[in-house]
Structure 1
Amino acid sequence: MSKDYPVPSGYLERETEVKKSRFIARVYPVSSRDEVREHVARAHRDYPDARHVCWAYQIGRPGSAAEAAMNDDGEPSGTAGKPILNVVQHKDMGDVLVIVVRYFGGIKLGAGGLVRAYAGAAESVLSEVGRTIQQIRVQAEVVLGFADEQPLRHWCEGHEGHIESIQYSNRVNALVSVPEARATEFAAFCDAQKLDYRLET
């Protein structure tokens, strides 16, 4: 079974209206809780006078997500975050955050109405966002000299590699992630450069 899974290809925003309440739904690809916090904070900044900013996310492969959470932001418990998360899980998409901003229109929707409205807002944005396949990545610890850092960065730029962290002492210690399919290429590069590396298995 493939370990690759679909993730949102980018940011998208859609607005729906239910009984004069405005629901502004945003979807983002995310890979960490810090990213989730940043996007939620931005929604609060973008819509400072909104009544509620509700959200749900899951990180990792759909069906076995490494992490998932939701927030009702003052709506009755279970009427906002949970329906958003349900739609996210139903869409079989990983590494995804959906935020729904609500402007109250003066007409109470009731618990059932809220559930339908938040689920509908999440559906409106998730059904339109593009999908891309998240490749499983492997990490490597690399110890190198200062002169080798630029060639390593150059290789990563051309081969979908990411330098996750880098520390400097008398040598350079880098944590690099590469798509699983490129692990042997990366090993060959390190061997050719005579770099000391350890690939996770």
Structure 2
Amino acid sequence: MKIKVLIADDNSFIREGLKIILNTYEEFEVVASVNDGLEAVNICKQHVIDVALLDVRMPNMNGVEATKLISEQTKTKPLIITTFDDDEYILDAIKNGAKGYLLKNNDPERIREAIISVYNSNTVIQDVVMEKIKSNLIDKKQESKIDRSLFTERELDIMALIAKGFSNKEISKQLYISEGTIANHITSILNKTGLSHRTQIAIYYLTGRVH
């Protein structure tokens, strides 16, 4: 079964280029390509779309606003793909339910992997984007601003490593505990904070803000 993809970008050259690239992979079916966020939302509501690739700056409705409506009203997983690595956009897109944030200057294989990863309920955020978040949000003392009393020491250790971009496998090696145990701790952290995925945990750990 193919992954059904929507492409939303107001630049026709990029939009059609992405469509051609994705159609060369047998995993994907590009259901629609549109040039504004409002149209993207409407198509996601009317059709089965697995992953929506959304540019940030579009007419009628930008990608961040479209992400919010798509997350709230459909089962589609939004993936922001853009030339803009603006911190404000990154944070807003993730808060609005984006499952990933990817810059357009990636090679096709990286974009392919990101779509498949998001389809499989993972979160994709490029190192360069995460570094930008960190450099702008961490204070000079590099201290977390969260209420540490809410969490166990082990949960705090795991959150700190997630904020550094470590995968569960890497955390497992660092803390000498199984990936299953780590997953249980992450579930506990998500329940305590009301967050929905690990990228939000990283931002929460660095900023102390849930919303």
TM-score over 0.5 for the pair: no
TM-score for both structures, normalised by structure 2: 0.23
Per chain length, whose mean CA-contact separation is higher, i.e. which structure has more relative contact order (CA < 8 Å, sep 6+)?
1
Which structure dedicates a bigger proportion of its chain to helix? 2
More strand by share: 1
Larger Rg, first or second structure (1 or 2): 1
